[in-house]
């Protein structure tokens, strides 16, 4: 193979899109937006020596550690390649490891969408272990997800839903819920609902400026779509889909505490699936599912809602780290968090 560093946005996305495992987090735009929080992207294309056809891609993000000549590296939801082609996978991993050494990274993390319940997943994990990679204790993205097959027609998609979910989709329409496409001007409204959701469901979000840049970049590129559910012209819920190649990801969802009895989120998701299908997407990725299908899991309620739409549970191999320096990796991942936790306790700060 021939390996090049690609700097052109159109060429990168065009090479990435046909590859197996192509993900929106490997897109040029994602690396571009992560620069606002200190990450720098180095985009590697692996080309067939004879045909020049792309066989793999890895958008490697690097972030310098404060006041240290060291860094951490991450290939979000990548690298993209046929993970069942083990010689190819080994060559790509070798280059990723080499890039991490050159960048003076303590470690490099990957978390490709490789099914844990497949022969390919088993073989790829064995390859990772042989090369010194470790299953990471820190998952940046969700390990697992649910997937809906959008190649089915709308009647089949509705028939595949649980009866209660299908009923609630129709109930929302009868009770006056409408869904419209949002614009850039609606992003502050969506963020307010997202902030309300974070407070209600107890998760941390970033400031508006971060999301505005991220969302605007993808909306302007035609790689995202905002939908708002309204009751009598009042927004009560919303979602933001990301789209790349032939997959749509339900990445951001928001709702208020108003009009919940009208089931706006059910109609909202159905319209999102219809939109993604109309755009030529073949897969609807629900972006997040429990590690274990057990009612004690914090994501169980979210999982039940998503599963009601007929999505298939898809367990993935999760994040894997390659420690460039084992001692520094231990300090970064084990010792320092313990020290910081102890300091917080002594000063009466929350963890």
**DSSP codes, 226-277:** EEEEEETTEEEEEEEEEEETTEEEEEEEEE-SSSGGG-HHHHHHHHHHHHHH
Tell whether the model's pLDDT for residue 74 goes beyond 70.
Answer: yes
Quote the pLDDT of residue 136: 94
Quote the pLDDT of residue 338: 58
Tell whether the model's pLDDT for residue 254 goes beyond 70.
Answer: yes
Band of pLDDT at residue 351, cut at 50, 70 and 90: very low
For tokens 């400026």, the residue is 209
DSSP secondary-structure letter at 69? S
pLDDT-above-70 percentage for the chain: 95
Tell whether the model's pLDDT for residue 343 goes beyond 50.
Answer: no
| Cα–Cα separations (whole angstroms), residue 334 to 144, 324, 326, 339 | 24, 16, 11, 9
Contact (CB, 8 A) for 174 and 213:
no
Contact (CB, 8 A) for 245 and 223:
no
Tell whether the model's pLDDT for residue 342 goes beyond 70.
Answer: no
Burial (CB < 10 A; 0-12, 13-18, 19+), residue 151, is exposed
31-35, 52-56, 290-294: lowest mean pLDDT where? 290-294
Tell whether the model's pLDDT for residue 98 goes beyond 70.
Answer: yes
**DSSP string spanning 84-152?**
T-HHHHHHHHHHHHHHHHHTTEEEEEE----BTTSHHHHHHHHHHHHTT-EE-S--SS-SBEEEEETTS
Band of pLDDT at residue 341, cut at 50, 70 and 90: low
Domain limits of the chain?
Answer: 2-141+317-346, 145-314
Q: Do domains 2-141+317-346 and 145-314 have the same CATH topology?
A: yes
Considering the chain, what is the average pLDDT of its residues?
Answer: 94
DSSP secondary-structure letter at 324? S
Partnered with residue 59 across adjacent β-strands are 43
Which is nearest to 321 in space by CA: 96, 41, 102?
96
292-304: average pLDDT: 91
326-349: average pLDDT: 63
Partnered with residue 285 across adjacent β-strands are 147, 249
254-275: average pLDDT: 96
The hierarchical CATH code for the domain 2-141+317-346 is 3.40.630.30
* Interacting residues of 286 by C-beta distance below 8 A, sequence separation 6+: 145, 146, 147, 148, 250, 306, 309, 311
293-315: average pLDDT: 94
Residues in the chain: 351
Quote the pLDDT of residue 335: 58
Quote the pLDDT of residue 336: 58
Band of pLDDT at residue 197, cut at 50, 70 and 90: very high
Quote the pLDDT of residue 349: 38
Quote the pLDDT of residue 340: 46
Quote the pLDDT of residue 332: 84
Tell whether the model's pLDDT for residue 319 goes beyond 90.
Answer: yes
Of residues 63 and 345, the one with the higher pLDDT is 63
Mention the CATH class of domain 145-314. Answer: alpha beta
220-234: average pLDDT: 97
Q: Take residue 241 and report the two structure tokens written for it.
A: 């889909």
Contact (CB, 8 A) for 190 and 254:
yes
Tell whether the model's pLDDT for residue 350 goes beyond 60.
Answer: no
Tell whether the model's pLDDT for residue 149 goes beyond 50.
Answer: yes
Quote the pLDDT of residue 337: 60
264-287: average pLDDT: 98
Quote the pLDDT of residue 348: 43
């Amino acid at each position: 193979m021939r390996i090049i560093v690609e700097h052109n946005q159109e060429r990168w996305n065009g090479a990435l899109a046909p590859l197996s495992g192509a993900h929106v987090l490997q897109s040029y735009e994602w690396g571009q937006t992560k620069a606002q929080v200190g990450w720098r992207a180095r985009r590697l294309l692996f080309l067939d020596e004879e045909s020049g056809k792309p066989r793999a891609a890895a958008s490697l993000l690097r972030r310098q550690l404060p006041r240290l000549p060291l860094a951490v590296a991450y290939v979000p939801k990548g690298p993209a390649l046929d993970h069942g082609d083990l010689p190819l996978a080994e060559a790509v991993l070798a280059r990723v490891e080499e890039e991490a050494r050159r960048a003076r990274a303590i470690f490099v993390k990957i978390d490709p969408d490789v099914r844990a319940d497949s022969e390919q997943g088993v073989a790829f994990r064995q390859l990772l272990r042989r090369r010194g990679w470790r299953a990471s204790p820190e998952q940046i993205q969700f390990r697992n997800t649910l997937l809906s097959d959008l190649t089915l027609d709308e009647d089949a998609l509705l028939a595949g839903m649980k009866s209660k979910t299908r009923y609630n989709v129709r109930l929302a329409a009868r009770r006056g819920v409408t869904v419209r496409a949002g614009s850039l001007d609606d992003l502050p409204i969506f963020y307010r609902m997202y902030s309300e959701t974070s407070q209600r469901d107890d998760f941390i979000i970033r400031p508006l400026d971060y999301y505005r840049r991220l969302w605007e970049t993808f909306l302007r590129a035609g790689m995202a779509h905002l939908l708002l559910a309204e009751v009598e012209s009042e927004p009560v819920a919303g979602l933001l889909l990301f789209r790349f190649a032939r997959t749509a990801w339900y990445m951001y969802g928001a709702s208020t505490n108003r009009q919940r009895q009208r089931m706006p989120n059910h109609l909202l998701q159905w319209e999102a699936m219809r939109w993604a299908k109309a755009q030529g997407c073949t897969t609807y990725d629900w972006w997040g599912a429990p590690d274990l299908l057990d009612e004690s899991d914090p994501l169980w309620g979210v999982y039940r809602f998503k599963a009601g739409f007929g999505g298939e549970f898809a367990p993935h191999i999760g994040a894997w780290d390659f420690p460039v320096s084992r001692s520094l990796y231990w300090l970064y991942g084990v010792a320092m968090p313990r020290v910081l936790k102890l300091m917080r306790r002594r000063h009466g700060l929350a963890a």
